[in-house]
Chains A and B, each alone.
Chain A
Amino acid sequence: MILDAHGHLGTWGDFFIPHADPAWLIATLDRVGISAIGVSHLLGVGHDARTGNRLALEASEQFAGRIGVWLVGDPHDREAVARLSDDVDHTGVWGVKLHPDTHQVQLTDERYEPLLAFAAERGLPVLTHTHTGSVWSDPALAAEVSKRHAGMPILLGHSGLVENGLTRTAAIMADHPDLIAEICGSQLTRRWLTRLVRLVGADRVVYGSDACFFDPRPALGRLLAAELTDPERDSVAGGTLARLLGHRLTVKEMHA
């Protein structure tokens, strides 16, 4: 079973995305054998989490069991926790998505704390964008948050993004067992994916594509070609994420 931990729906301002609709995404997942994808809507990652979350939930209903939802937590929204509370019990919700760089709030900032406390209390995994060296989302900030909320899985979106930061991300993860490396990004190679798995273990790495920023196919190709054992590849492809999501994962039998 292949699960894509990191996806999006919608368009984005600074570049042209030919296919931003869930139907294209599902057809492409079918084409390459991906069972389900967790998405946040790009409106939510950007300027309107309320609308973005609604659209993501609608897509999840339309493609039940194929599209999971990471509800975007907007640190600028005074009602964010109440809104998350309203939405969190929808079937298909996988967890909470944070994007400190677009919202320009440091992950350790007190404005994130109510959202993190909510996720911890409700047993929701958190997927946060990370970018090595970013004042908003450096992986070390996720480690600080993890110390405050022991037991809450935190998926490090992009694993810090840049190849030369991956060894540091792995070192940070070594001391923080709830941190999970998510592997989408424009700079990762199969060589570095192999190294990352060797450093942290396949049970702490999850496949993600960043669709529809990226086509879901290249990240899968990178995973399939990485020099991993079959059990390692299975864990990264879906096993690790399925364990983290538990009962929240309801994967429908593939259409293809």
Chain B
Amino acid sequence: MERTNLRIHDINRVLGPVPHDDVPTDTVEGLLSDLTALGVASCSAVASWQLFGDPSGRAGSLEGGAEPLAAGPHPRVRLTPIVVPTPAGTGWPADPSVVLQSGARLVRACPVRHRWSLLSRTASRWWDACAEHGIALALDLTEVGFAAVAGLAASRPGLNIVALNPGYRELRRCAELLDEAPSILVETGTILTTGGVEWLAGAFGAERLVFGTGGPLLDEAGPTFLLRSLDLPENDVELIAWGNAARLLEGQAQ
């Protein structure tokens, strides 16, 4: 049974060209076309230049790319800024207030890729501000590791964390993470072992799972089909597909 009319928000997309492949999502139009082909209503996306280039946009690195703190390039595409919360002018943006003023409800951080510490004094100040203002933080588990996410969640219980890209072999660690802190949600796109999404939903509740794929770096079509054919109650599937993301984004998902 495939739920063809399910309303879906993909919380983990990349917009723009990538260094190692020719992708159809290198433009806003291409991303929209890709979403439409898969029947996905909307997405949250990071700008590829922030992921693969200098996330600060200095010295022309933003040239041609989407401005991550501006309003989304299309009502179906919300940009997720990648922040670099480091001191002495090395980070971006200069202060968390800039993010707050932009209206962003979800930020991404790549502390390993961008070489900074998730629990530094400066970063901690950022996470306090995010927690206070209801801004969620997305982290890629293959980049930062499960322990770092658990540690951050333990130190900042009010901070909503979206744990991206756990991988199909990590149900045990996902269970540990979800058991660790109620503020953590896990992305489903790579939970691809047999019945893994249903198992996690049964053990921890569908409200702890959020649909995202990591496309085009990771496959979008398979996880989307899996989402539509989950052996779960309708309400649970709707939470994973849309409701939990909408809650994080405060109803701003299209």
Listed in ascending order, the chain A residues whose CB lies under 8 Å from chain B are: 14-20, 24-25, 28, 31-32, 163-164, 186, 188-191, 211-222, 224-226
B235: CB under 8 A from chain A? no
Chain B contacts to A: CB under 8 angstroms: 1-2, 20-21, 23-24, 37-38, 167-172, 190, 192-196, 198-199, 215-216, 218-226, 228-229, 231
Contact partner, A17, options B20, B38, B194, B231, Cβ 8 Å: B194
CA distance A31 to B225 in the complex (A): 12
Question: Assuming A20-B194, A221-B221, is B229 touching A31 (CB within 8 A)?
Answer: yes
- A-B contact list, 20 entries, CB within 8 Å: A16-B171, A16-B172, A18-B171, A19-B195, A20-B194, A32-B229, A186-B167, A190-B219, A190-B220, A190-B221, A191-B23, A191-B216, A213-B193, A215-B194, A215-B226, A216-B194, A217-B229, A221-B222, A224-B225, A226-B221
Give the residues in chain B near A25, CB-CB below 8 Å. 194
Complex Cα–Cα for A56 and B190 (A):
28
Nearest Cβ on chain A to B167's Cβ, whole angstroms: 8
- In Å, the complex CA distance between A191 and B219 comes to 8
A24 and B192 contacting across the interface, CB-CB below 8 Å = no
A222 and B219 contacting across the interface, CB-CB below 8 Å:
yes
A212 to B171, CA, bound (A): 14
Chain B residues, Cβ within 8 Å of A213 = 168, 193-194
Q: What secondary structure prevails in chain B residues at the interface with A?
A: loop
Residues of B within 8 A of A186 (CB): 167-168, 190, 192
Contact of A31 with B1 in the complex, beta carbons under 8 Å: yes
- CB pair B169 A15 closer than 8 Å: yes
CB pair A219 B172 closer than 8 Å: no
The distance in angstroms between the C-alpha atoms of A241 and B40, with both chains bound, is: 32
With a CB–CB cut-off of 8 A, which chain B residues contact A18? 171, 193-196, 198-199
Nearest chain B residue, comparing its CB with the CB of A215: B194
Once A224-B225, A225-B37 are accepted as A-B contacts, the answer to whether A189 and B220 lie under 8 Å apart by CB is: yes
Pick the contact of B222: A16, A17, A222 (CB < 8 A).
A222
Q: What is the distance, in angstroms, from B228's C-beta to the closest C-beta of chain A?
A: 8
Q: How far is the CA of A32 from the CA of B230 in the complex (A)?
A: 10
CB distance from A58 to the nearest CB of B (A): 19
In the complex, chain A residues whose CB is within 8 Å of the CB of B220: 189-190
Min distance, Cβ B209 to any Cβ of chain A, angstroms:
14
* A20, A186, A188, A218 pick with most chain B CB within 10 angstroms: A218
Q: Among B2, B24, B219, which residue has its beta carbon within 8 angstroms of that of A218?
A: B219
By beta carbon, the residue of chain B nearest A221 is B225
Give the residues in chain B near A31, CB-CB below 8 Å: 1, 229, 231
A216 and B193 CA atoms in complex are apart in Å by: 9
CA distance A154 to B224 in the complex (A): 31
Residues of chain A with a CB closer than 8 A to B38's CB = 225
Task: Pick the residue among B20, B21, B215, B226 that contacts A217 (CB under 8 A).
Answer: B226
How many Å from the CB of B194 to the closest CB on chain A? 4
What chain A residues lie within 8 Å of B194 (beta carbons)?
17-20, 24-25, 28, 211-216
Q: Name the 10 nearest CB pairs between A and B, nearest first.
A: A221-B225, A218-B222, A225-B221, A15-B169, A18-B199, A190-B221, A212-B194, A222-B222, A189-B219, A19-B194
Closest residue of B by beta carbon distance from A186 = B168
Question: Which residues does chain A contribute within 8 Å of B168, judged by CB atoms?
Answer: 15, 186, 213-214
A14-B24 Cα distance, complex, nearest whole Å: 35
- The minimal Cβ–Cβ distance linking A254 to chain B, given in whole angstroms, is 14
A164: chain B residues at CB < 8 Å are 20
Contacts of A221 in B (CB 8 A): 221-226, 228-229
Residue on B with the closest CB to A224? B225
For B215, list chain A residues within 8 Å (CB).
189
Which residues of A lie under 8 Å from residue B196 when comparing CB positions?
Answer: 18, 215
B221 touches A224 (CB 8 A): yes
- Residues of chain A lying within 8 A (CB to CB) of residue B170: 15
CB closest chain-B residue, reference A189: B219
Q: Write the nearest CB–CB distance from A236 to chain B, whole angstroms.
A: 14
Closest B-chain residue to A188, C-beta based?
A: B219
Cα separation A36 to B167 with both chains bound (whole Å): 27
> What separation, in Å, do the CA atoms of A31 and B170 have in the docked complex?
25
Q: Which residues of A contact B2 (CB under 8 A)?
A: 32
- Counting chain A CB atoms within 10 Å of each CB, the highest count among B20, B169, B225 belongs to B225
A218 & B226 in contact (Cβ 8 Å cutoff): yes
Q: B195, A191: Cβ atoms under 8 Å?
A: no
* Complex: chain B residue closest to A213, CB-CB: B193
